[in-house]
Amino acid sequence: MGNLHGPLGMVFDAKNGRLVSLQTDPGFTGPRVVWPAGKEAILAKDYQGKPFGRPNDIVADRNGGLYFTDIPPDRTIIPAAVYYVPPGW
């Protein structure tokens, strides 16, 4: 599989049958569906207009939602933020 754009975390969502990767390269930062081929999609590219810094960990819940962490661009802010992408993405 190519074009993963600096992945740090990945999760297989059994409910929807997709592989989601947290991308970190500029212009691709955030959670993206990377498999199956032809179903690639951006799930979130920012939060309230602010880009993600460095998404790191991701888990899928049994309802089809996703939780992921993000270290803000200003790394003086600790801890990392936790975001949720609801089912139906």
d(CA 7, CA 54): 10
Count how many residues are written for the chain. Answer: 89
d(CA 62, CA 50): 28
The string of pLDDT tens digits covering residues 12-23 is: 987 888 999 999
Q: What is the pTM of this model?
A: 0.84
Cα dihedral: 25, 75, 8, 89 (round 10): -80
d(CA 42, CA 30): 8
The string of pLDDT tens digits covering residues 27-46 is: 888 999 999 989 888 899 88
The string of pLDDT tens digits covering residues 59-80 is: 999 888 999 999 876 666 667 8
Nearest to 58 by CA among 72, 68, 71: 68
